């Protein structure tokens, strides 16, 4: 995936960042592109949606699934979640 241009979030237009997949996860990929914009409407509205649907204080951020090329949710439990695993370039 070298030289690949980072995708833009379809919800807010921010450039998506590389996020390192946890070693303990079942995903085979090394990293995903994730939108980590705290103003992203997808993430902002996710708090309400999760509360209404599941009574859970959580949200999700937009993630690009490299296999399908589709944008799918990545659950988060706080605004700081995931941010320790950003891959700086
Ligand atoms: Zn976004």
Instruction: Provide the residue-wise pLDDT of the chain in tens; the chain has 89 residues.
Output: 555 689 999 999 999 999 999 888 888 889 999 999 999 999 999 999 999 999 999 999 999 998 889 999 999 999 999 999 999 87
pLDDT at 39: 98
Q: How far is the CA of 35 from the centre of ligand 1 (A)?
A: 5
Q: How far is the CA of 87 from the centre of ligand 1 (A)?
A: 17
Say how many C-beta atoms besides its own lie within 10 A of residue 69's C-beta: 8
**What are the Cα distances from residue 20, in Å, to 47, 48, 55?**
23, 27, 28
Q: How far is the CA of 53 from the centre of ligand 1 (A)?
A: 21
pTM: 0.87
pLDDT at 5: 84
């Amino acid at each position: 995936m070298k030289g690949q241009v980072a995708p833009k979030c379809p919800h807010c237009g921010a450039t998506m960042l590389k996020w390192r997949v946890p070693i303990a996860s079942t995903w085979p990929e090394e990293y995903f592109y994730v939108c980590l914009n705290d103003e992203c409407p997808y993430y902002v509205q996710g708090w309400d949606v999760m509360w209404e649907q599941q009574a859970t204080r959580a949200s999700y951020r937009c993630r690009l699934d490299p296999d399908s090329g589709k944008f799918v949710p990545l659950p988060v439990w706080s605004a700081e979640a995931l941010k320790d695993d950003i891959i700086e370039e």
